[in-house]
Amino acid sequence: MNQLQVQGHSGHSTIYIDSAISELKNLRRGRRMFIITDENVYRYHSTLFPDADEIIVVPAGESSKNLEDVSRLYERLIDADIDRNTLIIGIGGGMVTDLAGFVAATLLRGVACGFVATTVLAQVDAAIGGKNGVNIKGYKNLVGTIRQPEFVINDTAMLRTLNDDQFINGLSEVIKSGLIADRALFELMETHGPQIVATRQGLLGEALGRAARVKVDVVNRDEFESGERRLLNLGHTYGHAVEKITRMHHGFAVAIGMVVAARLSVQRNMLSADDAARIEQVIAAIGLPVSVDLGTDALMDAMRKDKKRQSDKVNYVLLDAIGHAVVTPIEYSELERTLDDLRRPHA
Ligand code: GLY
């Protein structure tokens, strides 16, 4: 079986690629086990769940990621006499893994946890890396920790129940992984992206495995985000602003953000216009958006408010080649000046 290893200061994590939820039985190693999942995952996949001491189902959607829900989870687990030899399992997408990871990291000052990632986004990004957290006062993940899950199981078969939008939403992060660190992965998506979307088979496993490896490698070099890990934010500065204003899916907004980052890279003579056009084509070919009609003022406002701490500059991730990204501090004032122009389609 294909495995990747995260060797973090906050713990060691094994990522089981192209694995199956049935592996949970072995990885449990006789411990008491509490499963946290959401309504959608429970509806589609509960028959695959192993026996557990309790299965706690939270409403689907980002609104469950808050301190009130965390508190309710603490109380249920305490009432069930959880102890430090218990295993907490999050089965779901990024919302569930963030929530379950945070509960496990903080209750009793840390209980072992593992994840079964059921979305593309979680399998290549959200479930890997140890960051967990909940939202507060409209800020995403402002309360959280970094602590590695004991394991992540990526079950490709569970991706079949995702609708098309959810599926291509996650492929946005696959393209991102190719752009920042794996040119061959970008080219795989360039050649086979539409076929992967149509069949959800074939080279899907290869693409997901390569993208997960990019994440693992970056986390292994910079677990606490003092430098390189920021590269994973390619497309996210602009993307978060778009997501906040329009409520569009995260990966859709990041796709638009990656197109903007590519154009900004061309403008700074870091990337060729041909490469930027290729990036736009790969994104569009799998059905992701490449632009959105929003005013610069609204976008700038949302970008400035994305992080609680204010500064004149933003660490923007740009590309100096397909497969190589660089973090570049850019003054908001410069960004504002160029944004109108960048949002116009190429002539
Ligand atoms: N759990 C997501 C991350 O660490 O990036």
What tens digit of pLDDT does each residue of 59-99 get?
A: 999 999 999 999 999 999 999 999 989 999 999 999 999 99
Cα 64 from Cα 192, distance rounded (Å): 36
Nearest to 98 by CA among 149, 59, 137: 149
- The closest residue, in CA terms, to atom 1 on ligand 1 is 131
Residue 157, SS3 per DSSP:
helix
143-to-20, 31, 131, 229 alpha-carbon distances in Å: 31, 28, 10, 19
Residues with CB under 6 A from ligand 1: 126, 129-131
- Using only C-alpha atoms, the chain has a radius of gyration, in whole angstroms, of 20
Please report the atom of ligand 1 found closest to the CA of residue 232: 5
* Alpha carbon of 126 to ligand 1 centroid (Å): 5
111's CB contacts (< 8 A; 6+ apart) are 82, 84, 86, 87, 88, 104
- The amino acid present at 1, given as its one-letter code, is M
Q: What is the pLDDT of residue 138?
A: 83
Nearest to 176 by CA among 247, 238, 231, 134: 231
Host H or E run for residue 135: strand 134-136
Please report the atom of ligand 1 found closest to the CA of residue 127: 1
Please report the atom of ligand 1 found closest to the CA of residue 98: 1
Cα 188 from Cα 182, distance rounded (Å): 10
Q: What is the pLDDT of residue 139?
A: 85
* Alpha carbon of 40 to ligand 1 centroid (Å): 22
Residue 142, SS3 per DSSP:
strand
* Alpha carbon of 173 to ligand 1 centroid (Å): 13
Q: Tokens standing for 32? A: 């008491």
- The closest residue, in CA terms, to atom 5 on ligand 1 is 129
* pLDDT-flagged residues of the chain (< 70): 1, 307-310, 342-347
